[in-house]
Chain A
Amino acid sequence: MGKLNDFLENSVMPLAGRIAAQRHLQALRDGIVLTMPLIIIGSVFLILSNLPIPGYDAFMAEHFGGQWAEKLSYPVGVTFDIMALIAAFGIAYRLAEKYAVDALSAGVISVAAFLLATPFKVPFTPQGAKEAILVDGGIPTSLLGSKGLFVAMLVAILSTEIYRWIIQKEIFIKLPDGVPPSVSKSFVALIPGFAVITVIWLARLLVEQTHFESLHNIVGDLLGKPLGILGGSLGGSLVAELIKLLLWVCGLHGASIVGGVMAPIWYGAMDANRVAFQHHEALPNIFTQQFFDNFINVGGSGATFALALAMLLRSRSKQMKQLGRLAIGPAIFNINEPIIFGMPIVLNPAMLIPFIVAPILTVISTYIGMKTGLVARPAGIAVPWTMPPSFPDIWPRVEKYPVPSCSWSIS
């Protein structure tokens, strides 16, 4: 056991720390998290347009007209469907902040660069025609949503790297001292902004010569698809979950670190389900952000809700009982730092096994449940991760709750 601790402390921890402190990963996570409040708001409208109550449709149509569902989905369009646009701004902003260069300018340039990478063609089905044709002159909202997320991530990082490199090399237009600072600041962004736009413009011209036709296609084929398969599979999700738990065992915020890598994949999967849900089609994905937030992390990472309850009700140790009293409140909202650091689970070989095995088994059992149709798949409705564990039940239209983490009570 001492050896294991040594290994965790000397090998895993420094490596995990380095990955976690990696500024691009941090910026990716923080930038994507920026879209969350909007998506939760959009989710409320999505639920209202799809309430599973018999007679609801007829009732709504009678009072608000036949177009009621379409009208309710207006807000869905400006929340879910601009995810990539917001991320393009947010990621660049957060990254620029870390380089201590003007974040607002970097964000604005990144949004322009992202739109430059997006062909302004929208599908249009003329009357009588069967297939849609692409027409010019509209910004395609489908590419501003989760479909464009990977392009947004890459463009935001690339444009901010170019931006800060030029600023740090002090290549910018300097104005005389008498000019107000905010005026001269806007000139500072001019040369780096010009460089960013030129680079993305050239990249687009280049890609348009190939059979990929647009940057969105090339990124989707070469990056999005393989990563989606990886994150959408049982194996990939188990590995992600395992790494997250191992990081927590080292006392590091595993969910936050793994989220930097997996968030774009799981949010993308969530949105694909949302689109299918809105069109009343079969939901394509099992592993979405909500799969983990609402099914696996019951009581926080490591599914420690049952443990908190067991400590409170069953523990014979006075100290543990006291900790149970402290931990139960936050545990209801899926916050379990008191348990992880108080019990502690960190570097505690006895607790390591259930802490890792319970969620892994829950991932497998929930996966089987959803695959066989026993449990409904997450419908792409976003719920805050702090939502108490029994609520997702009603919330994303899930009929049955999966096997809870019983293994905890045994330990």
Chain B
Amino acid sequence: MNILLCCSAGMSTSLLVTKMLKSAEEQGIECKIWAVPADAVRNHIDEADVLLLGPQVRYLLKQLKKLGEEKGIPVDVINTVHYGTCNGSEVLKFAQQLLANRR
């Protein structure tokens, strides 16, 4: 499972990446998770199975959802509370749910 996160500069989402990786490791889930700035999403989306947006760039959702549809991957905004508290396991669960719904 490849999870791509994005926010304005890819910095605050990278905080979440470490927490998510830790949670995935604990649960024995194999995955690749990485964070990029919003303007670099196009260069990374081909490797991703799911794209999650930081809530502060949720104005990009429409635009990126369209891109996601082209590539056939789900795109959504991370819950603000989970984002703010860097709740890796909840966000990981969210990503899994998005993928499961798609299948």
Contact = CB atoms under 8 A, between A and B. Distances in A.
Interface of A: 16-18, 20-21, 26, 30, 94, 97-98, 248, 251-253, 255-256, 323, 326, 330, 333, 335, 337-344, 346, 386
A21 B63 contact: yes
A338 B56 CA distance: 11
B55 A341 contact: yes
Given A330-B12, A346-B80, A386-B11, A16 B59 contact: yes
A330 B81 contact: no
B39 interface: yes
Interface residues of B, number: 23
Contact of B84 (A26, A98, A248, A340): A340
Contacts of A335: 11-12, 15
Contacts of B59: 16-18, 20-21, 252
Interface in B58-84: 58-60, 62-63, 80-81, 83-84
B99 interface: no
A343 B12 contact: no
B86 interface: yes
B8 interface: yes
B42 A253 contact: no
Contacts of B56: 248, 251-253, 256, 337, 340-341
Contacts of A342: 81, 83-86
Q: Chain A binding site: helix, strand, loop or mixed by DSSP?
A: helix
The 7 tightest CB contacts between A and B, nearest first, are: A342-B84, A341-B84, A337-B12, A20-B59, A253-B56, A17-B59, A256-B8
Contacts of A344: 80-81, 84
10 contacts: A21-B60, A251-B58, A252-B59, A253-B7, A255-B8, A326-B86, A330-B12, A330-B15, A337-B15, A386-B11
A94 B39 contact: yes
A338 B84 contact: yes
A98 B11 CA distance: 23
Nearest to B13: A337
A338 B55 contact: no
Contacts of A256: 8-9, 56-57
A204 to B, nearest CB: 31
Q: Chain B binding site: helix, strand, loop or mixed by DSSP?
A: helix
Given A20-B59, A252-B56, A338 B15 contact: yes
Contact of A339 (B8, B9, B57, B84): B84
B23 to A, nearest CB: 15
Given A335-B11, A335-B12, A251 B60 contact: no
B58 A252 contact: yes
A248 B55 CA distance: 11
A247 to B, nearest CB: 9
A16 B59 CA distance: 8
Given A16-B59, A97-B42, A251-B55, A338 B80 contact: no
Contacts of A326: 85-86
B86 to A, nearest CB: 6
A343 B81 CA distance: 8
Given A337-B15, A337-B54, A344-B81, 5 more contacts: A21-B59, A253-B7, A256-B9, A323-B84, A342-B83
B12 A251 contact: no
Pick the most buried of B42, B59, B85: most chain A CB atoms within 10 A of its CB. B59
Nearest to B19: A326
A338 B85 contact: yes
Contacts of B81: 341-342, 344
A20 B56 CA distance: 11
A343 B86 CA distance: 12
A346 B85 CA distance: 13
A249 to B, nearest CB: 11
A94 to B, nearest CB: 7
Interface string B32-61: 000000010010000000000011111110
A143 B84 CA distance: 44
Contacts of A98: 63
A252 B38 CA distance: 14
Contacts of B55: 251, 341, 346
A330 B9 CA distance: 13
A386 to B, nearest CB: 7
A337 B39 contact: no
A342 B90 CA distance: 14
A326 B12 CA distance: 12
A324 to B, nearest CB: 12
A109 to B, nearest CB: 20
